[in-house]
Every structure is written in C-alpha cells, then in structure tokens.
Amino acid sequence: MTLDWRDPSIHLKQIYLEKSCVGNPYGEEIIARANLPVKTVTEQDLKSLVSGEYPANLREGKKSLLLCRNQGEFLKDCPGTREYRCCDYRVLNVGLGCPMDCVYCILQAYLNTPYMSFFLNVGELFSELSAKLNDHPVRVMRIGTGEFTDSMALDRITGLSTRLVNFFGQQKKGVLELKTKSGAIDNLQHLQHNGRTIVAWSLNSEDIITKQEIRAATLEQRLNAAARCVVWGYDCAFHFDPIISYPGWEKGYRKVIDQLFEKIPAERIVWISLGGFRYLPSLKNIASDRFPQTRIFAHEFIDGLDNKKRYFRKIRTTLYKVIYNELRTRCAPDTCIYFCMESDEIWQEVMGFLPAEKGGVGAMLDQAVKLR
C-alpha cells in the first residue's frame, strides 16, 4: 500500500521534551495535538536519543521530535555567498530537520543530529522579529522558515503557521514565505494574512519526486494545496530547485510547467526561482550510502566558487533555457523569475540581462511584492 504523504508529520512516532521546557504552555499544546509518547530528557540524554551513528541513524531519527529552546538568534541572513548573485533573504530559524527524506537534502551534511528539533520559546522569537523589523529601513524584509526545516511539514502538530501568519499580517515591512514540499496547509485557512504571507512550493518532475523526494507530497498534491491557498487569498511562489539533469528531464519539467499553469492563475504567482542541482562535497558519500540506488551523483561536476559541486555551465544553461523560456511565456509580466545562486554570466546568457540592471536580485523580489 502506498502511503499518502501530503502530511509528512504522520511519520513521527516519539516526542522528546527537554527538561527545561516541562510545563511550557506551547509545548503542552503541541504534545496534546501530537498524541504520541512523550519522554522528558536532559541535555546529557541527547547524544543517545537515537541509537547508531549519524548519518546512518537519520532514517530512524526522523521519527523523533525534540521540543526545546533556541539558545541563539532566530533571524539570520540566508547563507548565500558573495561569488553568486543572492537575494537578501532572511532565515527565521524555527527548528531543525525534516520528516521527509530527499536524497539531495543538504541538511544531511549541515546538521549532525538525527532527530528533529522544534523551538518552543516563540515569545522570544516574536520579540526579536519585532525589534529587527522596527529597526529595518523602510523596505521589505523577506523572511522564510524553510531553510533548516520544511516550513509546513510539522505544522499540523506545531500550529506555528497560525502564529506566524497572524503576526506578519500586522507588519508593514515584513513578508513571510512559507516554503514546503508537503500538502499540509489546513492551518492556513481562515487566517488574517493581509497579503503578507506567500506560500511556496518546491517543484520537481514526477520522476525526481518519486525517486529522490521520499515522503514528500506528489506534484498533484502540492499544486492542489497551492490552488486551495489561492482560494484563501494567498499569493504563491514556486521553486524549481534542484533542477536535475536525467534522461527525459526536458519532457518532465515541461509537464510540471503545464500542470502548474493548469491549476494556478499566473497573476497569483509572486516569484519563481530556478536552481540547478548543487551540493557540498561531503553530501555525496552521505547520500550515496543512505540511498545506494540514486543516480543523481553519476555526472561530471565542477567545483563552484562557493565550494559546492555543480553541473558544467553548458549543462546548467541548457536546463535553465528550456525552463526559463517556457515559464516566461506563461508567467504574468510582474512575476519575478530569478536564479538562486548563479553568476552574472548565466543571468546574461539565459535571461538576457544582469540583476544589477534592475537594482539586484533583492530589489527585483521586493518589487514583485510591492507591485501587489
């Protein structure tokens, strides 16, 4: 029987509660909703929560969620690099890890804990956000929660989206992007978002979704979820990332674009990003050991200026040109199509202009938001 992974939080089997968080009202709310076994743990227990060695124990670890406090800052700049054009994005760190298991997931190499974490000290999160938004010059701060986790994967249990969307609905300078590969968007209905939340999906071809995005929603489920959000008044965004070269890629990605515009009105799409498959060198061994059947590393790659491996320029531009040209003819004129982490040369060759001519990628995205 094939399981329905619209809501990947069904993969959870165990909640751990850090001792210092016992009695935390938000923690109690989550525990009641999850209806799973709960065990209180100390910091010393954390190393042995999941048996086995990391990353081999990730498979088992993704069934456990630790409720704890974030000791550091919540809001950080996106870890882009100076060498490629990046988009001035801010990352709101709400937790770590994800119940889905994409073969290419960079978190396998970035993180070192097999279990997922979710931060309960949201009072501090909102104080920090308010202070930083107040101090921000009068322009849009684009903020996303989907960098070290998936924005909606655990939302049925955490209910965090409700708090975030209501908060951003009151902000003049902030825009929230909730990025996901799930279809778990029920909590977004009936919220006062006031157009300050954009709901975004990573898209890929059916072939890549089936073979490389384990426990993620199907393409149809993602687009159906997006269509529901449109009905609820949200604008949407889409990320073709990672774009993977494989036999049949062109047909596969063209089909995704056809399905996208069949379901979503073009004028409701704020931005679409394109990013070719790239990875930290250490990811190859981790992912190949965990997913021996994968063929995504069976290519020649070059070392990028950001120390990540990426396809040769010719391959990247071939992939990008097909997808970009198709998107540009279907998109509304004010939908911003942009590259995530690409060089000026690629922008010029594929899109025919440099981001600097339009004030930079950040300004292009700010403009796409403001036009609404």
150 binds ligand SF4 (CB under 6 A): yes
Q: Which of 15, 86, 92, 107 binds ligand SF4 (CB under 6 A)?
A: 107
Shortest separation between residue 274's beta carbon and ligand SF4, angstroms: 16
Sheet with 301-303: strands ordered across: 278-279, 309-311, 301-303
Contact pattern for ligand SF4 over residues 67 through 106, marking x by CB under 6 A: -------------------------------x-xxx--x-
DSSP annotation of 36: S
Applying CB under 6 A, the site for ligand SF4 has a residue count of 9
336 binds ligand SF4 (CB under 6 A): no
* Beta strand 174-180 pairing with 141-144: parallel
112 Rama sector, left if φ>0, alpha if ψ -120 to 50, beta otherwise: alpha
Shortest separation between residue 107's beta carbon and ligand SF4, angstroms: 5
User: Which CB sits closer to ligand SF4, 118 or 347?
Assistant: 118
State in Å, rounded, how far the first CA of the chain is from the last one. Answer: 44
Shortest separation between residue 62's beta carbon and ligand SF4, angstroms: 9
Sheet with 116-119: strands ordered across: 38-41, 14-18, 64-68, 116-119, 95-96
User: Which CB sits closer to ligand SF4, 59 or 132?
Assistant: 59
Site for ligand SF4 in 218-257 (CB under 6 A): none
366 binds ligand SF4 (CB under 6 A): no
Calculate the dihedral angle through the C-alpha atoms of 315, 321, 322, 323, rounding to the nearest 10 degrees: 100
Shortest separation between residue 122's beta carbon and ligand SF4, angstroms: 20
DSSP annotation of 188: G
What's the one-letter identity of residue 138? Answer: V
Distance CA 132, CA 146 (A): 19
User: Which CB sits closer to ligand SF4, 107 or 188?
Assistant: 107
Shortest separation between residue 367's beta carbon and ligand SF4, angstroms: 27
Distance CA 242, CA 102 (A): 11
Sheet with 235-243: strands ordered across: 75-77, 90-92, 141-144, 174-180, 197-203, 235-243, 269-276, 336-339
Shortest separation between residue 214's beta carbon and ligand SF4, angstroms: 8
Shortest separation between residue 341's beta carbon and ligand SF4, angstroms: 15
Shortest separation between residue 216's beta carbon and ligand SF4, angstroms: 6
Site for ligand SF4 in 188-217 (CB under 6 A): 216
User: Which CB sits closer to ligand SF4, 150 or 155?
Assistant: 150
What's the one-letter identity of residue 357? Answer: E
How big is the chain by its Cα radius of gyration, in Å?
20
Q: Which of 85, 90, 181, 222 binds ligand SF4 (CB under 6 A)?
A: 181
Which residues contact ligand SF4 (rule: CB under 6 A)?
98, 100-102, 105, 107, 150, 181, 216
